[in-house]
Structure formats: structure tokens, C-alpha cells
Amino acid sequence: MELDDRLKRKIEVLASQAWDNRLRWPDVQEWLQNFTGKYYPVDVERSHALFLLSQVMFFGQDLLREMLKSVYENLYRHPIIAKIRRENNNTLDEGFIEAKFAEELAATRFLGVGNPSESGPHLLYYFRQVNDLPKDLFIDSGDIYSVSRLPGNKITIVQTDPDVKRYVFIDDLLGSGTQISTYLTKKLEEIGHFPGVESYYFSLFATSKGLGAAKDPKLFGARASCVYELDESFRCFSENSRTFATIPDELDFRIAKEIATGYGKDLVKCDLHALGYKDGQLLISFLHNTPDNSLPILWFDFPKAASWKPVFKRYDKKY
């Protein structure tokens, strides 16, 4: 069987069994028309593009729901249960433990990263649903505290609900760490003024670099964690890339990188982001969006009048 036929068969199986029927073959064919022979002969470019597409990790509704269960059970609930037991002579009294945990849960608020229209808050609906949590445990980040002016024009920061002692930020992907640093640094500084209040960051996925940034003492320190850490091998053109661990004999790592880089640079007009935001080099997409850390040749669709047809569409943010 010819290479393109083998890749087509693999992609069709992935689409039906792993990608929630997100793509049909005509969609792939339309995407392949983007590769016009600018860097290598057309058939060479399209074969390498098909191979990259066949390596995409797509996370649909069922997988995301299971991961959100893991965020709650493994990252949030289990450490609290362990702490309750340690502080009470390693008790095994289930009734006592659950009563104490209920108190801790009531003193927790879950938040998304970003404004209500972005992917972090979007996940909260599913997070609440799959973990059977009451909606009053969820707030927008603007509800953490209020700013008031005292006599003499003195500004004071007041915690909106003084009974809350734990804020948990939920996110889908932590890439470079730039977003949480930009968006949360000021909020975390203000939360730090509230006695006994802690902030946590839990992500479904995190690159090793991004997780390191989140663990900076100025952000979350040891209270940042993820379900699935993406190390250097998940960067598709890294030295130990798992994408090219078993590359077909007809294809070449160097050519694939040149094609992805060349077209990526044409699209985003920037060397740094040609293979994804801050050279992310990921091959990952979610049901609700495709992160810009992934290769632009997969998702680019901006402006809307652009001639490039994405295969895993990204819904870009407008600021």
C-alpha cells in the first residue's frame, strides 16, 4: 500500500475512533490544498503534512470529562483527605473524614483562568457537572475581592467572602506560562494579603516549562499541578520527539520541519511563533478549541478572509 493510502487509512480510523468524528476525509483534502509546493514538490509536502496530522492528539468530550474527574479526585480531594487523616492520628473513621472534607469543600472556590469567555472558565461547567458540585462553589475571579476607598483616599482590598480559605484555578493547557503570569500575578498578590488563604492551580495538561513557571514562588509554588505533563518529547521537532520515533521510510524529519516552519512563518509572520506560540511545537487539540501552542499549519484561520483552511480550527481571542 502506498504511503498516502496508509496515512489516509490511519487518519480515517483516528477520526472515527479517537477524534469524535471531528474530521471527514473531504475536510483533510481541503486542508491539503494549502500545501502548494512552495518549499518542496507538492506530493512531498502533502505526504509530510498527512504524517503530522496523523500524530495529533485530540481530546474529545469523554476524555476531557474523565480528566476533569481526575483533577477533582487526585489533585484536589485526595491531598485534603490525606491532610485530614494526618492531623487526626491517621484516622480511618469515614464519617469523620467526610464531615471534615465537607467543611474544606465549603471553604473552597473554583475559578477558571481568563475571563468568562475563555477556555479555563468554559471547563468549569463540565468540572461542576462530572463531579456533582454545587454551583455556589464557583465564582469569577472578579468576585475574589473588592476595592474600596477609606477616608483620606486610602485604598483597601477586602475579601468578598471571608469564609473562603482556598481558591482553585482550573485550566485546560498550561503552555509557556505567559498567560497565567500575566493574568494572575496581581490577583495572587492581593490574595496573599488574606490571612490563611491559599491559591492552587490545576491544569489538565502542562508543558514542563509552563509547569515550572507556575511553580514560581511568586505564583503558586508547590500548589501548581497537572493531570498530564508534556515533556520535551511532545514538542514534535525536539531531539527526542515521540512524533518521529517511528517515521515511515519515505519521509524525512528535516523536510517535515522545513515545511511546517516555512508555512507556519508565512501564516503568523513571526519566526518565534512559526511552530506554535513561543515555539510550542505541540500536536494537540481539544473539543472546545485548539491551543496556539500547536503547529499553526493545523489551526490558522486569521483573519477570517485568509486563504488558509484549518484542519483543527482555533477560535482566536479578541482583546
Distance between CA atoms of residues 117 and 308, nearest Å:
25
Between 182 and 270, residue with greater pLDDT = 270
pLDDT digits over 147-193, tens only?
Answer: 777 666 677 888 999 999 999 999 999 988 888 888 888 889 889 88
Distance (Å, rounded) from C-alpha 93 to C-alpha 85? Answer: 9
Each residue's pLDDT tens digit, 35-51: 999 999 999 999 999 99
pLDDT of residue 304: 57
Lowest mean pLDDT among 11-25, 39-53, 110-124, 125-139: 110-124
pLDDT at 319: 34
What is the total residue count of the chain?
319
Whole-number average pLDDT of the chain:
91
pLDDT band at 303 (very low <50, low <70, confident <90, very high): low
The pLDDT of residue 22: 84
Within the chain, which residue ranges are assigned CATH 3.40.50? 61-230
Counting other chains too, the contacts that 183-186 makes at CB distance below 8 Å and 24 or more residues apart are 183/113, 183/114, 184/113, 184/219, 185/218, 185/219
CATH topology of domain 61-230: Rossmann fold (3.40.50)
108 forms bridges with which residues in the sheet?
A: 166
CA distance 313 to 295: 12
pTM: 0.89
